[in-house]
Chain A
Amino acid sequence: QKEVEQNSGPLSVPEGAIASLNCTYSDRGSQSFFWYRQYSGKSPELIMSIYSNGDKEDGRFTAQLNKASQYVSLLIRDSQPSDSATYLCAVIMGQNFVFGPGTRLSVLP
């Protein structure tokens, strides 16, 4: 069974704090990982992709990948109320693009 798991939340953080979103996946052979942001009633929007172990930074976002632990995370620094959304982790397993259920993030002003 190809699975991607995320804590559904909601995860609440105060404005300016670091939000940490976690994702685990079942296929040890997976090589490509993505984070999408989805506002309520909107379609998913690509934030980050990561393919190698370690950290990848883009502005306030940092993706972290640990293939040995089958774990990928997304850190959002200096969280803003506009970051409040559902964050979807996606993993390519075989030839399929498998999404997790998403973590709902709420940034409190």
Chain B
Amino acid sequence: GAGVSQSPRYKVAKRGQDVALRCDPISGHVSLFWYQQALGQGPEFLTYFQNEAQLDKSGLPSDRFFAERPEGSVSTLKIQRTQQEDSAVYLCASSFFPGSFPYEQYFGPGTRLTVT
């Protein structure tokens, strides 16, 4: 079956613009995660959904970042009034196992955001 997909793959935004990044998880996967990965670093946790419920958003760096998963499938990460420090690759991952214990996660190809 299809893996995790993300769109767009690349996004260039001018400072101050709003952006929306989409993640389509593996069908049937209950858990969905967003990460931010800076160059040369490991992924940093942003937020976690179980179905449509956002169970943890402790990693969101500011109130300019907002994520939703209204029907428990596709998720959107929105960044308002983008700043240069938001430039990174945004990775989405999904996991089959329900509950708060994520187990193995499978990653999408990522969206590379560049803020100019």
- Residues B78-116 near A (CB distance < 8 A): 91, 100-110
Main SS of chain B's interface residues?
loop
Q: What A residues does B44 contact at CB under 8 A? A: 99
A-B contact count (CB 8 A): 52
- Residue of A8, A44, A92 with highest tally of chain B CB at under 10 A: A44
- When C-beta atoms are compared, the residue in chain B nearest to A43 turns out to be B107
Other-chain contact of B105, A4, A42, A46, A98 (Cβ < 8 Å)? A46
The answer to the question of B55 belonging to the interface, with a C-beta cut-off of 8 Å to chain A, is yes
Q: In the complex, which of the residues B42, B55, B106, B110 contacts A99, with contact meaning CB atoms closer than 8 Å?
A: B42
Return chain A residues, CB-CB under 8 Å to B109: 42-43
Interface residues of A, Cβ cutoff 8 Å to B:
4, 8, 32, 34, 36, 42-46, 49, 88, 90, 92, 95-102
Pairs across A and B, CB under 8 Å, 25 listed: A4-B42, A8-B40, A32-B101, A32-B103, A34-B104, A34-B105, A42-B109, A43-B108, A43-B109, A44-B43, A46-B105, A46-B106, A92-B102, A95-B48, A95-B55, A95-B100, A95-B101, A95-B102, A96-B59, A97-B33, A97-B45, A97-B105, A98-B45, A101-B41, A102-B42
